[in-house]
Amino acid sequence: MENLLFAFLLTLFAGLSTGIGSLLAFFTKKSNTKFLSISLGFSAGVMIYISMIEIFFKAKDSLVLELGEKAGSWITVISFFGGMFFIALIDKLIPSEENPHEMHSIEEMNVTDISDSHHLDIKLKHEEAKKNNQLMRMGLFTALAIGIHNFPEGIATFIAALQEPSIAIPIAIAIALHNIPEGIAVSVPIYFATGSKKKAFKYSFLSGLSEPVGAIIGYLILKPFLNDVLMGIVFGMVSGIMVYISLDELLPSAREYGEHHLSIYGLVAGMIVMAVSLLLFM
């Protein structure tokens, strides 16, 4: 029970960090692009390193032990790329205008300053949004899209926490960091539609619940079938999912904020921190 509670709380922490994206809009007037770029790069570094160095080989060891060297190695590679194709398919099914990985800035939620044409345009959009229920619909669809997208992340974090807590903690932190801009992506259209930061925060916060919910549902479905072979396949898919998220979301998002080199420095720092932490806990 202690392991289950720890795994659930860790997944809950990762998922509900979407609410931080909205909180940033309450307390700041300007996006800190340097912080965002470094954080997203750091998150990518952690996820790529732990996926390729630790999780992939744990999957391989488990599968080779059960299926033999050749079959185990093949299943590991297939699982790895299967995880990539799975998360890519989810991304593909989400319409681009509702995709949570379209970047939004905190400035979009602060429309009091209309000293230039950019802010004037935002102000006009805000006024139009009050009369346009479709924008609210878009915000809710974005929240739903994040929910669908984060579902497998919740399962991955939860199962990793049950099997290897030392691996699950950095995974959860990395996912939490990349959920922050996703929270902004939910809150911006809902704020424009309602004019309410409270509603924007609420829906952004609730969208992150899909990770712990996904974790519980996934665990209950998989529990009767859990064995070394299935765990090896799940870990192989987890490593693929993590690498795909890093390459498709985190690094491009960091570049969207205009701080490319800082994101790379963050990437390297994340890998170093992950490498050192793994050595310390050996």
pLDDT, position 76:
96
Decide: 238 and 51 in contact? Cβ < 8 Å.
yes
Longest dimension (CA), the chain: 68
Tell if the pTM clears 0.85, that is, is over it: no
User: How many Cβ atoms are within 10 Å of 134's Cβ, its own excluded?
Assistant: 10
pLDDT at residue 144, as a whole number: 64
Q: Please, what are the averages of pLDDT over each run of 10 residues along the chain (282 residues)?
A: 81 82 64 71 83 87 92 96 88 59 54 49 52 58 64 76 77 77 70 75 81 81 79 85 82 70 86 81 56
Q: Round to whole Å and give the CA distance between 203 and 187.
A: 7
Domain limits of the chain?
A: 2-280
Going by the DSSP 8-state scheme, the letter that residue 94 receives in this structure is S
The helix or strand, by DSSP H or E, that contains position 214, with its residue range, turns out to be helix 210-222
Nearest alpha-carbon partner for 150 in 211, 89, 205, 216:
211
Query: Which candidate, 84, 253, 272, 273, places its Cα nearest to that of 183?
Result: 253
Percent helix, percent strand, percent coil in the chain, to nearest 5? 85, 0, 15
DSSP 8-state secondary structure symbol assigned to residue 113:
-
Q: For residues 211 and 12, is the Cβ–Cβ distance under 8 A?
A: yes
Q: What is the spatial distance between Cα 198 and Cα 204, in angstroms, rounded to a whole number?
A: 10
Whether residue 171 contacts residue 156, with contact meaning beta carbons closer than 8 Å, is answered with yes
Q: Which amino acid is at 163?
A: Q
Q: What is the pLDDT of residue 80?
A: 96
- C-alpha 143/C-alpha 169 separation (Å) is 25
Question: Which structure tokens are listed for 241?
Answer: 């999912």
